[in-house]
Amino acid sequence: MKIKKYTSSTGHEILVGQDDASNDYLTLKVARANDIWLHVHGFPGSHVVLQCAEDKQLDRESLTEAAGLAAWFSKMRNGGMVAVSYCLAKDVSKPSRAKAGTVSIKNARKIKVRPHLLPASE
């Protein structure tokens, strides 16, 4: 699978799918129920998972950094301020017979960010 790994400035791991099959795998197999799932709103792009360890409090900075990656790895990379939808991974599902990378989300919120890249982790 083609999944890039990043670490937020506060230590949360951020995973980014690089194609439709990797997006499916990341969203449906890797993401845990209370991880945060992100995707640029209304345009093609990577699925991003902000992993939320039970012993770490999720912070706005990590959410903003993960949203920036979702915007960067999308068709809106050069779009200035970009809306990114996010929700708990447990609120993401795949419609039956949908093509790879297609999901339905519920309880989504939006955050506006500028697309940006973080240094990649190993």
Taking the model in full, what pTM does it have? Answer: 0.93
Helical ranges in the chain per DSSP H:
20-25, 60-72
The Cα–Cα gap between 32 and 52 comes to 8
* pLDDT exceeds cutoff 80 at 80: yes
* pLDDT exceeds cutoff 90 at 107: yes
Q: What is the pLDDT of residue 112?
A: 97
* pLDDT exceeds cutoff 90 at 77: yes
Q: What is the pLDDT of residue 93?
A: 93
The Cα–Cα gap between 3 and 29 comes to 13
The Cα–Cα gap between 68 and 84 comes to 8
Extents of the domains making up the chain: 3-113
Q: Given the DSSP bridges, would you call strands 82-88 and 48-50 parallel, antiparallel or unpaired?
A: unpaired
* pLDDT exceeds cutoff 70 at 122: no
Q: pLDDT tens digits, residue range 4-57?
A: 999 999 999 999 999 999 999 999 999 999 999 999 999 999 999 999 977 667
Q: pLDDT tens digits, residue range 52-68?
A: 977 667 889 999 999 99
